[in-house]
Amino acid sequence: MAKVAKKKVSKTLPAILDGIDAHRNTVRTKGGFFAIALSIAVLTIGLLLIALPGSITGVPGFVLTVIALPTLPLFGVPAAGGFVRYLLSLISSLFLWWVIGHYAARRAIQSTISSWPEWLREFRPLAIGIVLGSLISLAIAAAVLGVL
């Protein structure tokens, strides 16, 4: 009797919706956009505080705006304003936050089990560095302008 060769058909199982791979893929694909969403949330709070009357809400609003748009001092915004400066700062800051969020996502998915807490652990030191850098540049600009 002749042996019949059976072909092995490999079946790929569908990904589990809430499984390890799904979490890793979500962090990998959405890490940069989540960082942009955090920046937009801080920017919204800052702009709302600026819109309220008084200097008590205006100063923290401007500080939150500089935190959300860390490239704002690079365009000379405390000394000079204008729509183009704010627009360029918005575009470059959102790109910067996306790069930082994507880099944090790439580092976070290197571990076997990774999700948003691992992304946050990688994102936090980078975000703190950006925030401190923008606040220091704002303080230097205020000192140069004679406000401090």
Domain-wise residue ranges, the chain = 22-145
Euclidean distance between CA atoms 43 and 50, whole angstroms:
10
Is the pLDDT at 1 greater than 60? The verdict is no
- Structure token pair of residue 4: 């019949």
Q: What are phi and psi of 54, to 5 degrees?
A: 110, 155
pLDDT digits (tens, 9 = 90+) for 33-84: 999 999 999 999 999 999 998 888 888 999 999 999 999 888 877 777 788 9
Say if CB 44 and CB 56 are below 8 A apart: no
pLDDT digits (tens, 9 = 90+) for 16-27: 677 777 778 888
Euclidean distance between CA atoms 106 and 120, whole angstroms:
12
Token pair 């000079």 in the structure block, residue: 80
Looking only at Cα atoms, what is the longest distance across the chain?
A: 99
Q: What Å distances lie between residue 49 and 46, 110, 131, 136, CA to CA?
A: 5, 39, 18, 21
Task: Report pTM.
Answer: 0.81
